[in-house]
Chain A
Amino acid sequence: MSACKTEEKVIEKPKYLRWVGDIEQDLTKDAKQFELCNTEAEAFQYFNTHKGFRYKGEKKALVETFNKKYRPLNGKKQNGWIRIRFIVNCKGEAGRFRVIQSNENYEEFEFDKKVVEQLLKITKSLKGWETLEHKGTAIDYYLYLIFKLEDGTIKEILP
């Protein structure tokens, strides 16, 4: 019986949105001035147009911004990944930021607030998102940044 319960837990019926990773607007935390240009049903993923990750100055510029602004929490056991997912609209503005966190074993984990808040603040301040087009129309697209952290220091930024 216990084995069956384990299976049920993994395949329990979740309530799916249109697509995996979709972010519904929540005006209690989202900036009111951030708007999509097209409908929610037309929002893409960043890789759907096969142009890859687009940022002014490429990923190098983005990494340099974090290197400059992020203050590591040295000596603290802060290991794992933090993902900040958001939408870039047709004007290159970003909004609807959401955070998930895990330890180095991919298990849910809460990093020190100083780590998460810094990463979120810097991500929200980024101004280099490039717009993407599909069939000549500027689109809204989902994107994420993943920070791989070791002892509170950023070791990698993905994708």
Chain B
Amino acid sequence: MIKKHYLLLTILIFSTVLSAQPNCEAFKYYGDTTKCEACKKSMEISGHYQFSKEFQEILDESLAIDPTYDYAYRAKSVAYLKSGDFLTWKKLIDKAVEYNTIENLGYRGWCRYQFFRDYEGAIRDIEKLDSLVDYDIGYSANGDYHLNIAKALCYKALGQKKKAVEIIKKQLEVKVGLYDYLHLGVLYFELGDFDKAEEALDKQLKENKLTEAKYYLGLLSKELKEQEKALSYFREAKELYLKQYRLFDTYTHPYDKIYLEDIELEL
């Protein structure tokens, strides 16, 4: 039993990835010795699982040294986020945003979207961040999306599909993300612009094999009454699905994700 418990802890400790570790000495360099001490205390979380009592207590001690230390609030908030405790998570992450707005606003916006589908709140945070900085606002916590793409998906969810298209197109001029063309293709498809939908979905398939891209190409062919072609896409979609080439997130379900039953209904 002890051995099994040890294994459990071992795999979990490797998943305690947080935002970039702070440089404690930098606080001292800028004259904030209190924050430097709080920072050093917070570093003791290393090796503890983020859900654990020990992890939370160390960060409480860090906050007792400096109650304005944003990193500790944010680190504490993660377990509440992942356990779905929106009440505690929001209180903690709001404190992180209060004490270091620029570093935490984009992250809070992404979490609102990913874990709670709080589209309005996510847009507010991401747009606020954009208004505060003159550099690139960066990526989602899991690295899958630029925050502008996340923002576009939120606008789509609120029914503003044309606005979502424009945001994605603008972001694509800067850099192509993992699934950007898929979401653009689905948007064009839903707006009835089949030529642009096909072009975007094909581009997605050049980026990576993806069930969802094949599935939507199938739906598109079906709309164009090209039954054989549609069937072929759906078969390929199923094959990719079974080989795990599909949208996946360990914690939640990605936007525009397709389920096996969706494909099988078309076959």
Chain A residues near B (Cβ < 8 Å) = 7-8, 10-11, 13-14, 16-21, 38-39, 41-42, 44-45, 47-48, 50-53, 57-61, 81, 83, 85, 100, 102, 106-108, 134-135, 137, 142, 144, 146, 148, 155-156, 158-159
Tell whether B252 is near chain A: CB-to-CB under 8 Å: yes
Tell whether B177 is near chain A: CB-to-CB under 8 Å: no
Residues of A within 8 A of B90 (CB): 102, 106
Task: Give the number of residues in B that approach A within 8 Å (Cβ atoms).
Answer: 47
B84 touches A144 (CB 8 A): yes
Per DSSP, are chain B's interface residues mostly helix, strand or loop, or mixed? helix
B83 touches A144 (CB 8 A): yes
B residues 36-79 in Cβ contact with A at 8 Å? 49, 51-53, 56-57, 60, 63-64, 67-68, 73, 79
* Residue in chain B with minimal CB distance to A64: B261
Tell whether B29 is near chain A: CB-to-CB under 8 Å: no
B117 touches A148 (CB 8 A): yes
Cα-based distance from A85 to B259 in the complex (angstroms): 24
- Interchain CB contact (< 8 A) of B116 among A21, A47, A81, A107: A81
CB of B251, distance to nearest CB on chain A (Å): 5
- Interchain CB contact (< 8 A) of B51 among A19, A39, A41: A19
One of B5-13, B167-175, B188-196 contacting the partner: B5-13
Cα-based distance from A108 to B91 in the complex (angstroms): 11
A102 touches B250 (CB 8 A): no
- Interchain CB contact (< 8 A) of A60 among B7, B83, B261: B261
